[in-house]
């Protein structure tokens, strides 16, 4: 509770109980009928007291009737306090609200426009369903009031009425009245609130009319008009250019919201005109850059988010502006982060050197979180480019800085680089070999180092001995991820340098078999049996020849990106998520109902616009930039096709999108990951059948199913069964990304074909095939939606082998329940 | 259509609600208080958190001002840029009313605050955010007795930023041309970024509804008029105007014409992205002698014409946090060690163009260093200065005409000044 409320002229104690309230009650009552001089001042003090109690959260609703009784006054401030009080308690006490109607209605006819306006506003803000009938009359006269202030309030009042009772609004012909008003009234402030109010009714109608008047609107109203124009579909290119010419000066407005809204109009209007669209990018660059460098950090953040979106869509167009994305020392970290991402995106052959030089300074300078981000950025740039020698040198210099967090981030990156460009192994390995394992503490970095030790055991003379050190401290190693990696690394080292490693491998296997973690134990067992079976077989399984990874999968599909782009200048851009992912259902529908009424208001117009807006949607897909992006992704997928795991193709993603469960409950439906083959657990070889599956159902260790076939099957088959499982808290804690579960399910011979989401919501598509099934049959398809916070997992099964469904479900259930145990 | 805001909150530093105004009835103050207090607790300093946070279906946007958080809560998909700007406007309104916006001033004036919150936003849409206009129908306690019960014309006027009937005995306009230089030099001594952000700041004390017309040495305009442009004209990259300027007019014939608001406002801002030579160049050499002593040699050079003079120059030289026993010598100005800023502040009152000044400083270092000390941050050298009667761009006000129907003569005063904005030179 905050300190005592201000302005308490007489009493010094807070109303500890009913006593104080009762006292206030009697005082108010005495003043109610009084006409003595100075009574207004006394009333004011009392009202203030009541309001200050209300402010600090004390329930003063028992005073309701006294407050209303005292409200017969000509003092505006008293009135305002009274309206505030009434507005606060009316919703909680609808019965009391009825009491106020009378005096509010009376005030709506006051001689002063200020009081008429205020009373009407309060009346409309009561938000009590059963009082709607009392609103209509005052609103109607409000719209016809002689004073602009009252009309303004009335227009917004209509919107408020619409919000609680759309039918009452239509039945009383308010849309028509508003329409008439805008044509008749030359009063710009009225237009202003007409926009904020009336827009809900005819958001497409009249908009040309509005564009011509835009200069008379206040800045906030301009934003709304522009928002409306952005929805408009011009009849021909000439109209598009007319609108753009008319609005071009808005880019010079000092209000960043107006500028952004104008940019949205430009981008939307030129969607189908690829070359003009590109020119728009050029035109809006300067205003955007200016907005970023002026104003408060919060404002530049909002603008940067939008710039970020545009940069991500068309990095090429911004590649010469990279210096604008350099971080200042005093930038808040949320701004630095965005800038780093943009620097990464715009890097190309010409500016890479300078950008990486700049990023290297951040790695040495600013705070740890940003230093890490900048190292990651360097790595990402390295992965994007063809000529990365210079970058590799930089990364290796990072290792020489001997700062723990720098080393850790760099190791992870060097590992990724090696997976993509194995040809640099010599340079990298020479330096990595010098990294003292004592300086590496973070699990991810340790795993990366171990992977390199295993993979390049031949190039690093002391690899077995470093590994030996790790194995000796097996018990102290807390992260199961590292222990798994260690086991694999030792095994791989063994295949390359058997004599030196044999002893360590024995120790590692022994440690793994007695490990408490299920995965580590299982892998130990698997390796042991493989080795028993024959060293060569084991090598083929554990250490098959690897292909360089050509592309690390993007985390967000282009469909999602397009949807975010459609919602330019809203929160969607800031969150980098389409609005359906973060909004409650009831708050999404603003457009639906406005569509609905515009149909009522003007049938012909709306049907035309509906058609038009559909064609816009179609055009969206043909958009130059997104189309080329899509093509890129496809190209990448083809080149990826030869590796053992295939990221699902776009068409699959689109297909999945169409049968997602209601978005609020589900997660990102589309994101996909190429599965890390870090563990060396390649499926491209024949491994012996697992002993883990139940005897009645033996699963194929190497089921072949490409994404297209999966998608087709998923479409054809009905949902055979749906189950809900609760997850253990450990499992939930382990599930920070989709990867751990994928790996875990693989050990149970259930494979993932697509996965996505971010904490707390994840979605997976798994499949498995019974052993010895004829080609194309015996599949089990699973859609699995996990909410980590609720520790809930919803599973939909589909299969063409319904006899075995039960036992498969049992396998799946035990597999998923075992996760994290 | 852009979404509406559900409520506006004024919170104290602990995230407790001081005052709030509900506009749509779909968030509760308890919910907001709970969430925001948690955020403050978790983040330590919420200013480092991005200003847009999502929790349980509600989007919070906030800014901090003094010891107050101003926060909006919304359940709809609203317009982030416009809301964050709106929050800053709200701050401006409160500052106008209470001189300073802080917890105490809000508590002391809570009735006025409620009145303001009622008018600046309705049903979640921003309405009037011009303090001048609001102050005509919402009075503070001091003037409460002369209540106006008539909303001023401006609320319903075509010119929403100015009221009619303003009177001054002496009609005057002050126009400050302020250019701030942003520069970033990397540790190799290369200028990696430089730009100039200019602003025409106006203070008007004019009666009635004056029509103003401003002439600049804008190259586009001068060329269009067929005048000679021998090096005097400037190219302004990206210009932004206050809402009072008739933008269409400027688009057509580059005339800047407007009816100004009363009092202070920014008439226009512009940006020059041309490479600027750093006006003041600073080089620092750091020598570490063994573990106990560190020596700085700093050279500052003014790289502008000799007829100009920089004033109030302050060079902030970062030193390590455990430095002690400073001993400093300078060839000009004075230097003080400011341990709270982990920096040595070298102040030079007057720094004419084309001069070199030196500073030598020596610090003692503790012989034992903490083992788990935080990694060094290496902040850059920062420079502050002002150069009066000088602009980097060479922009000039050619005329400022003021025409009012009563026909009075108004005096325009014009001043030029260049200041350092984000002026950073990274050290090795």
Highest mean pLDDT among A184-193, A245-254, B218-227 belongs to A245-254
Counting the structural domains of chain A, the total is 5
Q: Are residues A755 and A797 in the same domain?
A: yes
Least confident of A68-72, A592-596, B184-188: A592-596
List chain B residues with CB under 8 Å of A120: none
- Please report the residues numbered 657 through 696 in chain A whose beta carbons come closer than 8 angstroms to any beta carbon of chain B: none
Which residues does B42 contact at the CB level (< 8 Å), separation at least 6? none
| pLDDT tens-digit series, residues A276-334 | 888 888 888 888 888 887 778 888 899 999 999 998 888 888 888 888 888 888 888 88
Q: Are B199 and B182 in contact (CB under 8 A)?
A: no
CATH superfamily label, B280-367+377-388: Mu homology domain, subdomain B (2.60.40.1170)
Residue of B nearest to A592 (CA): B1
Q: Residue ranges of the domains in chain B?
A: 7-156, 172-276+392-425, 280-367+377-388
Q: Are B62 and B32 in contact (CB under 8 A)?
A: no
Q: Are residues A31 and A141 in the same domain?
A: yes
Point out the domain boundary residue: A624, A643, A662.
A643
Q: Are A439 and A449 in contact (CB under 8 A)?
A: no
**Distance from the B83 Cα atom to the nearest Cα atom in chain A, whole angstroms:** 8
Give me the CATH number covering residue A137: 1.25.10.10
Identify whether A317 is part of a domain.
Answer: no
Identify whether A271 is part of a domain.
Answer: no
**Distance from the A321 Cα atom to the nearest Cα atom in chain B, whole angstroms:** 11
Residue of A nearest to B245 (CA): A253
Q: Are B366 and B179 in contact (CB under 8 A)?
A: no
**Distance from the A17 Cα atom to the nearest Cα atom in chain B, whole angstroms:** 22
Instruction: Supply φ then ψ for residue B308, to 5 degrees.
Output: -95, 160
For residues B209 and B163, what is the distance between their CA atoms, to the nearest angstrom?
A: 8
**Distance from the B411 Cα atom to the nearest Cα atom in chain A, whole angstroms:** 26
Q: Are residues A688 and A586 in the same domain?
A: no
**Distance from the B76 Cα atom to the nearest Cα atom in chain A, whole angstroms:** 5
List chain A residues with CB under 8 Å of B81: 256-257, 260, 299, 302-303, 306, 569
Tell me what ipTM this predicted complex has.
0.76
pLDDT interval class at B151 (50, 70, 90): low
| pLDDT at position B358 | 94
Question: Given CB atoms, is A465 within the 8 Å cutoff of chain B?
Answer: no
| pLDDT at position A183 | 61
Question: Given CB atoms, is A219 within the 8 Å cutoff of chain B?
Answer: yes
Label the pairing between strands B238-241 and B191-205. unpaired
Q: Are residues A612 and A758 in the same domain?
A: no
CB atoms within 10 A of CB A653: 23
Identify whether A512 is part of a domain.
Answer: yes
CB contact under 8 Å between A188 and B157, yes or no, is: yes
Q: Which of A330, A361, A405 lies at the smallest CB-CB distance from B186?
A: A361
Q: Which of A76, A296, A334 lies at the smallest CB-CB distance from B50?
A: A334
Q: Which of A107, A259, A294 to mutate to test the interface with B (most CBs of B within 10 A)?
A: A294
Q: Is the pLDDT of residue A646 over 70?
A: no
CB contact under 8 Å between B3 and A403, yes or no, is: no
Q: Which of B115, B148, B247 lies at the smallest CB-CB distance from A249?
A: B247
- The residue-averaged pLDDT of B344-349 equals 94
Residue of A nearest to B423 (CA): A328
Q: Which of B2, B49, B129 lies at the smallest CB-CB distance from A334?
A: B49
Which DSSP symbol is given to A457? T
Q: Are residues A381 and A489 in the same domain?
A: no
Q: Are residues A750 and A659 in the same domain?
A: yes
Q: Which of A293, A295, A403 lies at the smallest CB-CB distance from B195?
A: A293
| pLDDT at position B47 | 63
Q: Which of B80, B150, B375 lies at the smallest CB-CB distance from A571?
A: B80
Point out the domain boundary residue: A626, A643, A660.
A643
| pLDDT at position A688 | 39
- The alpha carbon of residue A489 and the mean position of all alpha carbons in its chain are separated, in whole angstroms, by 37
CB contact under 8 Å between B84 and A299, yes or no, is: yes
- The residue-averaged pLDDT of A104-118 equals 85
Residue of A nearest to B61 (CA): A298
Q: Are residues A48 and A181 in the same domain?
A: yes
Q: Are residues A539 and A599 in the same domain?
A: no
| pLDDT at position B297 | 93
Q: Which of B2, B147, B184 lies at the smallest CB-CB distance from A328?
A: B184
List chain B residues with CB under 8 Å of A57: 17, 29
List chain A residues with CB under 8 Å of B125: 156, 193, 196, 220, 224
CB contact under 8 Å between A286 and B271, yes or no, is: yes
Residue B188, burial from CB neighbour count under 10 angstroms (0-12, 13-18, 19+): exposed
| pLDDT at position A553 | 62
CB contact under 8 Å between A156 and B49, yes or no, is: no
Q: Are residues A212 and A356 in the same domain?
A: no
**Distance from the B306 Cα atom to the nearest Cα atom in chain A, whole angstroms:** 30
List chain B residues with CB under 8 Å of A219: 243
Residue of A nearest to B130 (CA): A218
CB atoms within 10 A of CB B421: 18
Q: Are residues A457 and A425 in the same domain?
A: no
- Please report the residues numbered 367 through 396 in chain A whose beta carbons come closer than 8 angstroms to any beta carbon of chain B: 367-368
For residues A180 and A673, what is the distance between their CA atoms, to the nearest angstrom?
A: 56
- Please report the residues numbered 602 through 661 in chain A whose beta carbons come closer than 8 angstroms to any beta carbon of chain B: none
Residue of A nearest to B10 (CA): A55
pLDDT interval class at A4 (50, 70, 90): very low
> Which residues pair with residue B63 across a beta bridge?
B70
Identify whether A663 is part of a domain.
Answer: yes
CB atoms within 10 A of CB A209: 11
| pLDDT tens-digit series, residues A194-210 | 444 444 444 434 445 56
Question: Given CB atoms, is A45 within the 8 Å cutoff of chain B?
Answer: no
Identify whether A331 is part of a domain.
Answer: no
Point out the domain boundary residue: A643, A660, A681.
A643
Residue of A nearest to B267 (CA): A254
Q: Which domain holds residue A525?
A: 442-543
Closest by alpha carbon to B421, among B380, B386, B396, B388? Answer: B386
Mean pLDDT of chain A: 73
Q: Is the pLDDT of residue A134 over 50?
A: yes
Least confident of A778-787, B4-13, B367-376: B367-376
Q: Which of B21, B49, B81 to mutate to test the interface with A (most CBs of A within 10 A)?
A: B81
| pLDDT at position A229 | 79
Q: Are residues A381 and A472 in the same domain?
A: no
List chain B residues with CB under 8 Å of A405: 375
For residues A767 and A782, what is the distance between their CA atoms, to the nearest angstrom?
A: 6
Distances (CA, A) of A77 to A213, A215, A280: 35, 34, 50
| pLDDT at position A558 | 74
Identify whether A539 is part of a domain.
Answer: yes
Least confident of A160-174, A330-344, B145-159: B145-159
Question: Given CB atoms, is A252 within the 8 Å cutoff of chain B?
Answer: yes
- The residue-averaged pLDDT of A375-391 equals 76
Please provide the DSSP assignment of B314-359 as one string.
EEEEE--TT-EEEEEEESSSEEEEEGGGTEEEEEEEEEETT-EEEE
Q: Which of B77, B247, B271 lies at the smallest CB-CB distance from A570?
A: B77
Helix (H) or strand (E) holding A602: none
Q: Are residues A748 and A813 in the same domain?
A: yes
| pLDDT at position A213 | 66
Identify whether A104 is part of a domain.
Answer: yes
HEC string for A360-374:
HHHHHCCCHHHHHHH
CATH superfamily label, B172-276+392-425: Mu homology domain, subdomain B (2.60.40.1170)
For residues A470 and B322, what is the distance between their CA atoms, to the nearest angstrom?
A: 38
For residues A286 and A811, what is the distance between their CA atoms, to the nearest angstrom?
A: 59
Identify whether A787 is part of a domain.
Answer: yes
Do B7-156 and B280-367+377-388 have matching folds? no
Mean pLDDT of chain B: 84
Highest mean pLDDT among A241-245, A610-614, B381-385 belongs to B381-385
Q: Is the pLDDT of residue A634 over 80?
A: no
Question: Given CB atoms, is A117 within the 8 Å cutoff of chain B?
Answer: yes
Residue B347, burial from CB neighbour count under 10 angstroms (0-12, 13-18, 19+): middle
CB contact under 8 Å between B50 and A301, yes or no, is: yes
For residues A403 and A651, what is the distance between their CA atoms, to the nearest angstrom?
A: 45
Distances (CA, A) of A120 to A128, B70, B288: 14, 28, 74
**Distance from the A430 Cα atom to the nearest Cα atom in chain B, whole angstroms:** 27
Question: Given CB atoms, is A304 within the 8 Å cutoff of chain B?
Answer: no
Q: In CATH, which of 1.20.120.1200, 3.30.450.60, 3.40.50.2000, 1.20.120.160 is domain B7-156?
A: 3.30.450.60
Torsion B386-B387-B390-B391 (CA) sign: negative
């Amino acid at each position: 509770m905050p300190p005592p409320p201000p302005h308490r002229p007489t009493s010094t104690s807070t109303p500890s109980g009913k006593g104080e309230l009762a006292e206030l009650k009697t005082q108010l009552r005495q003043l109610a009928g009084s006409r003595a001089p100075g009574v207004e001042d006394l009333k004011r003090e009392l009202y203030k007291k009541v309001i200050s109690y209300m402010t600090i959260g004390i329930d003063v609703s028992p005073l309701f009737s006294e407050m209303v009784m005292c409200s017969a006054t000509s003092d505006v401030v008293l009135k305002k306090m009274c309206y505030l009080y009434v507005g606060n308690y009316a919703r909680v006490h609808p019965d009391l609200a009825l009491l106020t109607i009378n005096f509010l209605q009376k005030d709506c006819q006051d001689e002063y426009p200020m009081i008429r306006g205020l009373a009407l506003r309060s009346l409309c803000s009561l938000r009590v369903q059963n009082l709607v009938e009392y609103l209509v009359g005052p609103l109607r006269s409000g719209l016809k009031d002689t004073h602009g202030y009252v009309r303004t309030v009335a227009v917004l009042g209509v919107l408020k009425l619409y919000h609680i009772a759309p039918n009452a609004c239509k039945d009383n012909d308010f849309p028509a009245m508003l329409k008439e008003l805008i044509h008749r009234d030359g009063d710009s402030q009225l237009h202003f609130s007409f926009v904020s109010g009336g827009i809900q009714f005819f958001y497409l109608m009249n908009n040309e009319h509005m564009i011509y008047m835009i200069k008379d609107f206040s800045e906030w109203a301009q934003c709304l008009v522009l928002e409306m124009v952005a929805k408009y579909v011009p009849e021909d290119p000439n109209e598009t250019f007319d609108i753009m010419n008319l609005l071009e000066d808005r880019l010079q407005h000092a209000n960043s919201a107006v500028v952004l809204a104008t940019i949205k109009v430009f981008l939307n209007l030129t969607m189908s005109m690829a070359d003009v669209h590109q020119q728009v990018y050029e035109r809006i660059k300067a205003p955007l850059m200016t907005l970023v460098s002026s104003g408060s950090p919060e404002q530049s953040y909002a603008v940067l988010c939008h710039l970020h979106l545009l940069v991500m869509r068309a990095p090429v167009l911004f590649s010469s502006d990279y210096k604008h994305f350099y971080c200042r020392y005093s930038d808040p970290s949320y701004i630095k982060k965005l800038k780093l991402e943009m620097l990464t995106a715009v890097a190309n052959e010409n500016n890479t050197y300078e950008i990486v030089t700049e990023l290297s300074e951040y790695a040495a300078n600013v705070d740890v979180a940003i230093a890490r981000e900048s190292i990651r950025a360097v790595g990402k740039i390295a992965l994007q480019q063809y000529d990365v020698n210079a970058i590799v040198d930089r990364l290796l210099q990072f290792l020489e800085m001997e700062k723990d967090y720098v080393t850790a981030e760099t190791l992870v990156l060097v590992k990724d680089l090696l997976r993509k460009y194995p040809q640099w192994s010599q340079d990298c390995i020479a330096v990595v070999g010098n990294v003292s394992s004592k300086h590496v503490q973070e699990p991810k970095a340790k795993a990366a180092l171990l992977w390199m030790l295993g993979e390049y055991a031949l190039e690093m003379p002391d690899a077995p001995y470093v590994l030996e050190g790790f194995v000796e401290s097996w018990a102290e190693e807390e992260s199961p991820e590292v222990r798994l990696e260690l086991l694999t690394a030792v095994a791989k080292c063994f295949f390359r340098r058997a004599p030196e490693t044999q002893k360590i491998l024995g120790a590692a296997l022994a440690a793994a078999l007695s490990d408490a973690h299920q995965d580590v134990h299982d892998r130990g067992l698997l390796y042991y049996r493989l080795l028993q079976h024959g060293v060569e077989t084991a090598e083929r399984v554990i250490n098959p020849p690897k292909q360089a990874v050509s592309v690390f999968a993007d985390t967000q599909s282009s469909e999602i990106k397009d949807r975010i782009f459609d919602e330019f200048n809203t929160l969607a851009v800031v969150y980098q998520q389409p609005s359906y992912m973060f909004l409650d259902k009831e708050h999404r529908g603003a457009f639906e109902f406005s569509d609905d009424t515009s149909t009522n208001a003007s049938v012909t117009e709306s049907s035309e616009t509906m058609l038009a807006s559909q064609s816009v949607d179609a055009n969206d897909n043909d958009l130059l930039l997104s189309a080329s992006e899509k093509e890129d992704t496809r190209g990448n997928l083809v080149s990826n096709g030869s590796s053992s795991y295939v990221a699902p193709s776009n068409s699959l993603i689109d297909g999945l999108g169409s049968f997602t469960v209601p978005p609020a409950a589900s997660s990102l439906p589309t994101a996909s990951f190429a599965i890390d083959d870090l563990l060396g657990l390649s499926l491209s070889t024949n491994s012996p059948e697992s002993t883990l599956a139940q005897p009645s159902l033996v699963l194929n260790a190497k089921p072949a199913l490409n994404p297209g076939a999966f998608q087709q099957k998923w479409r054809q088959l009905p949902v055979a069964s749906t189950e809900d499982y609760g997850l253990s808290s450990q499992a939930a804690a382990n599930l920070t990304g989709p990867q751990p579960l994928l790996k875990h399910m693989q050990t149970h011979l259930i494979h993932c074909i697509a996965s996505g989401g971010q904490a707390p919501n994840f979605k997976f598509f798994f499949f498995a095939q019974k052993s010895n099934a004829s080609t194309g049959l015996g599949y089990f398809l699973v859609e699995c939606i996990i909410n980590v916070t609720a520790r809930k997992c919803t599973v939909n099964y589909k299969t063409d082998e319904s006899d075995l469904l039960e036992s498969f479900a049992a396998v799946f259930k035990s597999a998923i329940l075992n996760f994290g145990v | 259509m852009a979404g509406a805001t559900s409520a506006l909150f004024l919170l104290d530093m602990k995230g407790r609600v001081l005052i709030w105004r509900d506009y749509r009835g779909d968030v509760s103050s308890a919910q907001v208080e709970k969430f925001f207090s948690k955020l403050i607790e978790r983040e330590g300093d919420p200013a480092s958190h991005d200003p847009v946070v999502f929790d349980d279906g509600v989007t919070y946007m906030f800014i901090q001002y003094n010891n107050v958080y101003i926060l909006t809560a919304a359940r709809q998909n609203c317009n982030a840029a416009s809301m964050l700007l709106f929050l800053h406007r709200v701050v401006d309104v409160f500052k106008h009313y209470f001189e300073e916006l802080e917890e105490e001033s809000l508590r002391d004036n809570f009735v006025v605050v409620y009145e303001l919150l009622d008018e600046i936003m309705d049903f979640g849409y921003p309405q009037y955010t011009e303090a001048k206009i609001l102050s005509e129908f919402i009075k503070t306690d001091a003037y409460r007795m002369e209540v106006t019960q008539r909303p001023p014309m401006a609320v319903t006027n075509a010119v929403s930023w100015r009221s009619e009937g303003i009177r001054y005995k002496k009609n005057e306009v002050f126009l400050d041309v302020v250019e701030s230089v942003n520069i970033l030099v990397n540790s190799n001594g290369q200028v990696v970024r430089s730009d100039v952000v200019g602003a025409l700041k106006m203070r008007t004390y004019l009666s009635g509804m004056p029509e103003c017309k401003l002439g600049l040495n804008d190259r586009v305009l001068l060329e269009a008029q067929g005048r000679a442009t021998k090096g005097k004209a400037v190219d302004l990259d990206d210009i932004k105007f206050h809402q009072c300027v008739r933008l269409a007019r400027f688009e057509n014939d580059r005339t800047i014409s407007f009816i100004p608001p009363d009092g202070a406002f920014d008439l226009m801002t512009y940006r020059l992205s041309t490479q600027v030579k750093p006006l003041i160049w600073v080089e620092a050499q750091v020598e570490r002698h063994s573990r106990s002593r560190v020596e700085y040699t700093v050279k500052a050079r003014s790289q502008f014409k000799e007829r100009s003079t920089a004033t109030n120059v302050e060079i902030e030289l970062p030193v390590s946090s455990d430095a002690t026993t400073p001993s400093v010598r300078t060839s000009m100005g004075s230097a003080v060690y400011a341990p709270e800023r982990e920096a040595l502040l070298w102040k030079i009152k007057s720094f004419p163009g084309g001069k070199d000044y030196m500073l030598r400083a020596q610090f003692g270092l503790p012989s034992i260093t903490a083992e788990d000390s935080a990694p060094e941050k290496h902040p850059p050298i920062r420079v502050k200065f002002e150069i009066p009667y000088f602009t980097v761009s060479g922009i000039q006000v050619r005329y400022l005409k003021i025409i009012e129907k009563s026909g009075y003569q108004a005096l325009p005063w014009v001043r030029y000044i260049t200041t350092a904005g984000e002026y950073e030179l990274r050290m090795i």
